[in-house]
């Protein structure tokens, strides 16, 4: 028998996971308490300093608070690798807040004197900026709200109001550390934070500019969304019911710019790379990992593959992704010192092939309008020869956001621009018109980029319509 949440009844009747050790004192607030941070930053912080307590905040949904609060913030992390599995308990999260339900509690947490760092994993769209220009989007409803209201909605609003409280209380600023997949994520965060602060109080913007720090980071670990069967599996191993475990691969990397305005855990002691400049790491990861992830997600979804591991087990996709690295991405990428890009590509292929990690193409396909610029278009902008695979990826994304798959079934497109993109596509008749109209969406494609892509993407899109994803790829993969 299954419960409402799709769990076997024997899972939920087990004793609940609870906190066994006293909660550490709070030193950090994390905005965006999804699976990724809990499987990456939280685990690594606990290793660096088990006394560095973190308050986790979900900005919108109360689900995480409801799952973790009865467990005192504790949860299990299940690592699934080629060499078996490891289950660990993570107890660094001291409390979980839902910002929608209690914005004041979040601001109070951020204004605690002991808080040194506010970290973020709020996804690309959480920065409320235009992906192509990186400027704060003043038309964003949450930003419009946050300008006028002291109790914010957006992560950026929380940062600004958190700083405001600290300024008013005469406390030092905290470091704001973005852990999202955006290039120069520290600069982006600083830019949108200062832009919003300026609109609220120019003196506050000056105070933030002088006192705060926004290090850039590169974060990496493949963490699929937790599914009901994962919860059942963890419960069976643990002998307890954990409502919010995380599943992750063995690999992890975290590169942080050495730019903090206060204290931090001893990150370097546990293998976190503290460097002067993160840029080369960010570009490598965004283009080589996330770029090919998105390519495999759109093309794989269209071809009927449910997960990344199933996708790369398909020989046409395997050839395609290897060619994408070797012929299109690596030639225009600068390697971080001491890193071999071909070795990095081989390691990625291994990671994608891990059959124990069921990472859905549909999950990665989300929010493409926010991901394409840094993952795909950045390489295209620097290309010196034709890039048929990246071009096909852009066409596949257009096909995907059209909302109907190759078998004629509807696609559940999740993207802040989904409605607008669908309307544009439905209104145009021919492939030329459809591609042309999408390439005119300036938040995603610059005019220059649109001009360069119009011909090749139209051809690739027509090919996808006529022959389907696998055949179109086979042509290129040879």
Using CB under 6 A as the criterion, which residues of the chain lie in contact with ligand CS2 when the complex forms?
181, 220-222, 289-290, 293, 363-364
Structure tokens at 189: 């965060």
Contacts with 252 (C-beta within 8 Å, 6 or more apart), sequence order: 40, 44, 220, 221
CA atoms within 13 A on the CB side of 403: 14
Instruction: Report DSSP letters for 16-82, one per residue.
Output: BP---SPPPPEEEEEE---HHHHHTHHHHHHHH-TT-EEEEEESS-SHHHHHHGGGTT-EEEEEEET
Check if the beta carbon of residue 413 is closer than 8 Å to that of residue 422: yes
Angle CA 87–90–94, to nearest 5:
160
**Can you give the length of the chain in residues?**
478
For tokens 């995603």, what's the residue?
444
Check if the beta carbon of residue 52 is closer than 8 Å to that of residue 267: no
For tokens 């093309």, what's the residue?
299
Structure tokens at 18: 């609870």
CA–CA dist 132, 446 (Å, integer): 7
C-alpha of 263 from chain center: 26
Q: Please state the closest distance from residue 308 (CB atom) to ligand CS2, in A.
A: 9
For tokens 């709070």, what's the residue?
26
In the bound state, the residue with its beta carbon closest to ligand CS2 is: 293
Helix/strand/coil for 260: coil
CA–CA dist 41, 194 (Å, integer): 25
Nearer to ligand CS2, 75 or 362 (CB): 362
Q: Please state the closest distance from residue 224 (CB atom) to ligand CS2, in A.
A: 8
Nearer to ligand CS2, 112 or 369 (CB): 369
Contacts with 17 (C-beta within 8 Å, 6 or more apart), sequence order: 71, 74, 75, 76, 89, 238, 240, 241, 242
Strands 93-98 and 53-58: parallel
Strand partners, 75: 90
CA–CA dist 384, 370 (Å, integer): 25
Q: Please state the closest distance from residue 298 (CB atom) to ligand CS2, in A.
A: 11
Structure tokens at 162: 């958190």
Q: Please state the closest distance from residue 315 (CB atom) to ligand CS2, in A.
A: 22
Helix/strand/coil for 274: strand
Nearer to ligand CS2, 91 or 226 (CB): 226
Nearer to ligand CS2, 91 or 374 (CB): 374
Nearer to ligand CS2, 74 or 297 (CB): 297
Nearer to ligand CS2, 361 or 391 (CB): 361
Nearer to ligand CS2, 40 or 434 (CB): 40
Nearer to ligand CS2, 55 or 272 (CB): 272
CA–CA dist 249, 223 (Å, integer): 7
Q: Please state the closest distance from residue 177 (CB atom) to ligand CS2, in A.
A: 16
Nearer to ligand CS2, 112 or 292 (CB): 292
CA atoms within 13 A on the CB side of 374: 24
Angle CA 100–101–106, to nearest 5:
75
Q: Please state the closest distance from residue 222 (CB atom) to ligand CS2, in A.
A: 5
Check if the beta carbon of residue 301 is closer than 8 Å to that of residue 357: no
């Amino acid at each position: 028998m299954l419960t409402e949440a799709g769990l076997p009844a024997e899972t939920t009747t087990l004793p609940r996971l609870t906190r066994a050790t006293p909660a550490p004192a709070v030193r950090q607030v994390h905005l965006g308490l999804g699976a990724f941070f809990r499987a990456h930053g939280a685990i690594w912080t606990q290793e660096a300093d088990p006394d560095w307590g973190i308050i986790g905040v979900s900005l919108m949904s109360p689900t995480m608070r409801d799952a973790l609060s009865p467990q005192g913030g504790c949860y299990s992390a299940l690592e699934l690798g080629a060499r078996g599995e490891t289950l660990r308990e993570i107890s660094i999260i001291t409390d979980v807040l839902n910002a929608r339900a209690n914005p004041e509690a979040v601001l109070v947490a951020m204004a605690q004197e002991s808080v040194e760092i506010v970290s973020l994993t709020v996804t690309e769209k959480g920065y409320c900026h235009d992906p192509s220009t990186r400027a704060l989007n003043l038309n964003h409803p949450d930003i419009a709200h946050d300008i006028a209201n002291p109790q914010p909605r957006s992560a950026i609003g929380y940062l600004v109001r958190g700083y405001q409280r600290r300024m008013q209380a005469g406390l030092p600023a905290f470091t704001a550390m973005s852990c999202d997949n955006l290039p120069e994520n520290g600069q982006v965060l600083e830019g949108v934070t200062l832009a919003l602060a300026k609109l609220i109080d120019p003196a506050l913007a000056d105070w933030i500019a002088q006192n705060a720090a926004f290090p850039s980071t590169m974060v990496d670990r493949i963490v699929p969304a937790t599914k009901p069967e994962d919860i059942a599996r963890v419960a069976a191993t643990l002998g307890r019911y954990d409502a919010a475990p995380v599943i992750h691969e063995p690999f992890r990397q975290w590169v942080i710019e050495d730019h903090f305005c206060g204290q931090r855990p001893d990150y370097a002691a546990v293998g976190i790379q503290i460097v002067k400049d993160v840029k080369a790491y960010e570009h490598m990861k965004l283009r080589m990992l996330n770029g090919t992830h998105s390519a495999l997600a759109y093309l794989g979804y269209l071809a009927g593959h449910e997960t990344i591991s199933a996708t790369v087990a398909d020989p046409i996709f395997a050839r395609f992704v290897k060619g994408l690295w070797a012929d299109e991405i690596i030639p225009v990428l600068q390697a971080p010192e001491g890193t071999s890009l071909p070795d990095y590509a081989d390691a990625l292929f291994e990671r994608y092939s891990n059959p124990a990690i069921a990472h859905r193409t549909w999950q990665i396909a989300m929010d493409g309008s926010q991901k394409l610029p840094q993952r795909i278009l950045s390489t295209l902008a620097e290309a010196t020869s034709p890039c048929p695979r990246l071009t096909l990826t852009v066409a596949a994304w257009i096909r995907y956001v059209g909302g109907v798959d190759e078998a004629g079934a509807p696609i559940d497109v999740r993207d802040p621009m989904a409605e607008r993109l669908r309307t544009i596509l439905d209104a145009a008749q021919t492939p030329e018109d459809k591609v042309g109209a999408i390439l005119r969406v300036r938040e995603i494609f610059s005019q220059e980029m649109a001009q360069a892509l119009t011909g090749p993407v139209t051809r690739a899109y027509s090919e996808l319509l006529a022959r389907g994803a696998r055949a179109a790829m086979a042509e290129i993969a040879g």
